[in-house]
Amino acid sequence: MAYTSSSGSRNLLEGMAPTRRDILNDLKMHQGGTVEDLAEHLHLSPGAVRHQLALLAAEGYVRYEGVPRDGRGRRPRDYQLTRKGDDLFPSTSADLALRLLNRVRRNDQQAVQDALKAEMDEMGQAAAFAVQSEDPDERLEEVVRLYEDRYFYPSVEEDEDGAPMLCTNHCPVYAAVETISDVCDVEMAMVRRAFPESEVELVEHRPRGDQRCVFKINHPVLKRT
């Protein structure tokens, strides 16, 4: 399960330089195109378009492939938006999901609890699959990568006793948390599944008014002091 923030992506698109934004918009409107197509549509030189496309491709927003061409000669590159590039454009799917979730909760609270339990089990299995190292330090790195893949912008700090604290500096599912606080149990279940031999403590919690969520992992090997 992957989470993404449509509002954050939209802000990223709006904050881009106008030329880059125009190229992405043109690729979206025309379902792709060549350097020549973009240069004609946007009244830019092919060189300028090619330079911006190279940057956008390096950042993972566009991809290219050869397309057929009449006659002999080199095939032009047809540029397309990647999934990452497509996600820059507004989406209302998260709002729809929340409305449906609220509707289900009003009519059948048990169904919501059952769904959350199933999600906890699935996330626990995902953690078990992604976090397999026997070394606690490597396991912590694997947990961080798992949270990076899910857009939580994680970091690791140490408390005064040297115990590691897994910090999630962004919550891409916070709108759901505000609706059903038990969603947080899914994250706790995942961290506990990754460190079954440790006591995991939620020392900061955004729904309590903190700026982020922080999981303290009381593992003797991981302590630095």
Same-domain check for residues 177 and 98: yes
Same domain flag for 118 and 208: yes
Give 179's DSSP letter. Answer: H
Instruction: Tell me: do 139 and 37 sit in the same domain.
Output: no
H and E: helices and strands count for the chain: 10, 6
41: domain CATH number is 1.10.10.10
62: helix, strand or coil: strand
- Give me the domain span that covers residue 117: 93-218
pLDDT in the model for residue 74: 53
The pLDDT value given to residue 197: 84
Q: Going residue by residue through the chain, which has 225 residues, state the pLDDT in tens, using 9 for 90 and above.
A: 233 334 445 567 878 889 999 999 999 888 889 999 999 999 999 999 999 999 999 999 999 876 555 555 555 678 999 988 888 887 666 667 777 777 777 788 788 777 777 776 776 677 677 677 788 888 889 889 888 888 888 899 998 888 899 999 888 778 777 777 777 888 888 888 888 888 999 999 988 889 899 999 987 766 665
Tell me if 223 is assigned to some domain: no
pLDDT at 5: 39
Asked if 80 and 103 sit in the same domain, the reply is no
CATH number of the structural domain spanning residue 116: 3.30.1380
**98 shares a domain with 82:** no
The residue length of the chain stands at 225
| pTM for the full predicted model | 0.53
Does one domain contain both 177 and 209?
yes
pLDDT at 194: 84
- Where a domain ends, among 86, 109, 125? 86
Give the sign of the dihedral formed by CA 213, CA 219, CA 220, CA 221: negative
Of the candidates 55, 86, 117, which is a domain's last residue?
Answer: 86
Q: What is the pLDDT of residue 149?
A: 83
Q: Find the helix or strand (DSSP H, E) in which 158 lies.
A: strand 154-158
Please give the tally of structural domains in the chain.
2
Residues 163 and 77 in one domain: no
Q: Judge whether 76 and 36 are in contact, CB under 8 Å.
A: yes
> Could you tell me if 145 and 163 lie in one domain?
yes
